[in-house]
Amino acid sequence: MEPGEVREMQNGATDSDRPVPIDLDDHSLYLNRELELLKFQERVLEEASDPANPLLERAKFLAIVGSNMAEFYMVRVAGLKQMVEAHVTDISPDGRTAQEQLDEVRVIAPQLLRDSRVAYLDVATELEAEGIHLLQYQDLDAPQRIVADDYFEHSAFPVLTPLAFDPGRPFPHISNLSLNLAILLRNPEGEEHFARIKMPKVLPRLIEVGPPGGGRGELGLRSSRKERYFVWLEQIVKANLSALFPGMEVLEAHPFRVTRDAEVEIQELEADDLLLTIEQGVRRRRFGDVVRVTLTPETSERIRSILLKNLDVDPDDLVVLSPPLGGSDLMMLADIIDRPDLRYPPFVPVTPERLQDGGGDDNDLFTAIRERDILLHRPFESFDPVVRLVQCAAYDPKVLAIKMTLYRVGRNSAIVEALLEAAREGKEVTVLVELKARFDEESNIDWARALEQEGVHVVYGLVGLKTHSKVALVVRREGRDIRRYVHIGTGNYNTSTATQYTDLDLLTVNEEIAEDASQLFNFLTGYAAGSEYQQFLVSPRGARDGIEQLIRREMDHAAAGRPARMTLKTNSLTDRRTIRLLYEASRAGVRIDLIVRGVCCLRPGVAEVSETITVRSIVGRFLEHTRIYYFENAGEPECLIGSADLMTRNLDRRVEVLVPVLDPEIVHRLRTEVLDTYLADNVKTREMQPDGSYQRVTQGPGDEPINAQELLIRRAGGKS
């Protein structure tokens, strides 16, 4: 019997006499969010192990896995532990208690991390064959040790701080994600003591020590380039502990790493100054409860016991991994090695011809947007026109005002610099800075203060709601008229991630969209809570209802025998209500193709429940970040783009914006050039099976390999 089936056996009826009722709320029809998130990390790890990927890119994937898993513990595991400690009895959509989820995570997550160590050894071996050597201190020859020890003496020693633990000195605080050495010492009287040394963030993790013999280095066999030799910082420090503890005998020293709860609770209603509250919350993050301690197999039981007791850690949260700990630091290696032959082929994002800045006339950009709506698909197409729109607006004497939402903008933001210039030029500039953008709070605080100092109207979001929408509004006087230029995106106003994530940018002067944008900003900055939108679907009030109406419309088309199909591309699908409705749509005969990069809690291909649904996940060179919701609508297609994923938080607890694409040619482009290309991918796609597992899509006999992202690069003409 398939999951969810409830067969009625009454009044003498047999199975063949009655239709089979389906309980669409059956727990077995829903996959667990935490476990699905770990499956996504497994797919990323597969890319690190895939020999088809360039070697340094594989090292990057390993770093991404390390970073993602740290966040998983800081947020997801921490959340489960909080639920257990608070005796929360709610169960997840798949029927698990918080304790049951935590128990499973404690088995699966450490194994995934151990698998990443295996992948690291493979990558390190191949790097060595390419002349990039990641050495152990004990493997250094005499000249290399001289270099390493000299680095310790002149660069490391002055900034290291040994912290003792004894009756007169409390156990030192271990900051979140810091790499440390746990050291057991013996004094001349024979007494044993514990000490800790933190590896400073100001020092690089990998230290170059030069070639064996102290020479200039031989040329790599394959690369005809100088070979590089590195050793890990903590090994250099460990080898020189006698300089830090003179007169003491070092009995043992082992690296360890602590991960803390990073969920910042903000009591907004009680906070007089939200900016100050966030700033304090960021500081508290370093002092959150410990949710994981990572150490190496060689660590003695004595040191393990000291760490567990003084960090107040459950033994189940101890993760033993082969060194090096902190896999995210491999990103440094990928950054400092100049080996184009070990990277993806370079490409230059293209700027559509009608947006190219031929003569430097700012009016050209405004004219192009007035002539017709513009859609940019980055990183295949350049993000520069969006940046240039804000820059042009800053200096254009016809521009009266600029309004923007800022979620993640990064440290060096051309967008924010342009807003600062606009304020200096006397424009009315209003910016909503989302201080609750997790892990970007400090950067956003810095920009918020800089904007305020220039007289910008800075708003810090809404009580109880995170503002995640990506909307900009430029108000311009043109003759006797006022015209509003609008940008709506799926990604952040961040020039760095614009080259690493796939996203969409829509530029338009459509009056209804412009009016909606004005209403949105009035809602965000004032008291326009009852705003009605003509085109926008805005969470938390309208996005859920709008999407559900569109799904039900496809169901009506299917019932009437009209073409009915949906293709939904999103980062995550976890909202139970949406999943249930998609099951209903499948049972009504609607064909549904889901392209979900990360977490998908829907089970496709289940008999009589989701037989018309497919789920694909694409993990490749770029992080898939576009949200595209396409509805066939009986031959009159409708397509929405925007910031919202199909998650409960996006639909009910955030300010999100989805906007319909009104130009039929752009809708056709999204269908044929974007979605169909991703659906045809047979290189980087994994397809979910009815049991929730993923299998790589493979080419059949005679099939041409299709890597969607690489194909989109070629189509854009971006190869350099």
Is residue 89 in some structural domain? Answer: no
Long-range contacts of 332-338 (CB under 8 A, 24+ apart): 332/204, 332/205, 332/206, 333/56, 333/59, 333/132, 333/134, 333/206, 333/230, 334/56, 334/57, 334/59, 334/60, 334/63, 336/206, 337/56, 337/132, 337/228
Q: What does the pLDDT look like over 331-365, one tens digit per residue?
A: 998 889 999 999 999 999 999 888 876 444 556 89
Is residue 167 in some structural domain? Answer: yes
| Residue 455 shares a structural domain with residue 508 | yes
Q: Phi/psi at 561 (nearest 5 deg)? A: 80, 15
Residue with tokens 């398939």: 2
Which of these ranges, 117-131, 159-173, 431-445, has the smallest mean pLDDT?
A: 431-445
Report the SS3 class of residue 129. Answer: helix
Per-residue model confidence (pLDDT) at position 543? 95
CA dihedral 463, 465, 469, 475 (to 10 degrees): -20
| Residue 156 shares a structural domain with residue 247 | yes
| Residue 383 shares a structural domain with residue 445 | yes
> The domain that contains 479 carries what CATH number?
3.30.870.10
Per-residue model confidence (pLDDT) at position 570? 98
Taking only Cα atoms into account, the Rg of the chain, rounded to an integer number of angstroms, comes to 28
Q: Who has greater pLDDT, 220 or 607?
A: 607
Show the tokens assigned to 681: 């991918």
Show the tokens assigned to 399: 């521009």
Mean pLDDT on 96-122: 96
Spatial CA neighbour of 293 closest among 259, 252, 328? 259
| Residue 619 shares a structural domain with residue 566 | yes
| Residue 469 shares a structural domain with residue 421 | yes
Q: What does each C-alpha distance from 372 to 77, 273, 657, 663, 666 come to in angstroms?
A: 48, 43, 21, 8, 10
Q: What does the pLDDT look like over 244-277, one tens digit per residue?
A: 999 999 999 999 999 998 754 433 333 444 445 4
Spatial CA neighbour of 471 closest among 649, 627, 657? 657
| Residue 305 shares a structural domain with residue 394 | no
Whole-number Å distance between alpha carbons of 78 and 492: 27
Find out whether 415 and 445 touch, Cβ atoms under 8 Å.
Answer: no
List, as one string, the DSSP characters of 11-34. Answer: TT--GGGS---B-TT-GGGB--HH
Domain end marker among 492, 507, 534 = 534
Distant-in-sequence, close-in-space partners of 319: CB < 8 Å, separation ≥ 6: 109, 110, 113, 292, 293, 294, 295
| Residue 267 shares a structural domain with residue 371 | no
Q: Is residue 468 annotated as part of the catalytic site, yes or no? A: yes
Show the tokens assigned to 189: 């009287």
133, 254, 377, 468: the active-site residue:
468
- The parent domain of residue 388 ranges over 355-534
| Residue 211 shares a structural domain with residue 360 | no
pLDDT confidence of 3, banded at 50, 70, 90?
A: very low
| Residue 520 shares a structural domain with residue 572 | no
Per-residue model confidence (pLDDT) at position 453? 83
| Residue 364 shares a structural domain with residue 505 | yes
The reported pTM is 0.90
Is residue 32 in some structural domain? Answer: no
Is residue 61 in some structural domain? Answer: no
Domain end marker among 518, 534, 550 = 534
CA 711 to chain centre: 23
Domain end marker among 514, 534, 554 = 534
| Residue 629 shares a structural domain with residue 702 | yes
Average pLDDT over the chain, rounded to whole?
88
Report the SS3 class of residue 471. Answer: strand
| Residue 214 shares a structural domain with residue 283 | yes
pLDDT confidence of 224, banded at 50, 70, 90?
A: very low
When divided into structural domains, the chain yields a total of: 3
